Amino acid sequence: MKLTDISVAEPEKFPQMHAVKNCFIRGSVVRYVQLPADRVDTQLLQDASRKEAAAQSRK
């Protein structure tokens, strides 16, 4: 997952993240990601999810 222009919800708990603005992260290390609803293309997300599910079922 690529994150751009990030902010930390609890900076006192994660001071090392203060200087980070963009990053790539593995999905297995993420607990919560808050995304603004108006910035999410739900149709694209659904299509990508369907493609990934179809690819996984073929394996």
What was the pLDDT predicted at 12? 94
What was the pLDDT predicted at 46? 93
- Is the pLDDT at 2 greater than 90? The verdict is no
Q: Is 53 left (phi over 0), alpha (psi -120 to 50) or beta?
A: alpha
What is the per-residue pLDDT across 3-54, written as a single tens digit (0 to 9) for each? 888 888 889 998 998 899 998 888 777 778 788 889 889 999 899 999 999 9
Which of 40, 38, 56, 53 shows the shortest CA–CA distance to 1? Answer: 40
Structural domain total, the chain: 1
Question: What residue numbers bound the domain in which 47 lies?
Answer: 2-58
* Strands (DSSP E) found in the chain: 2-4, 22-24
Which of 30, 17, 56 shows the shortest CA–CA distance to 9? Answer: 17
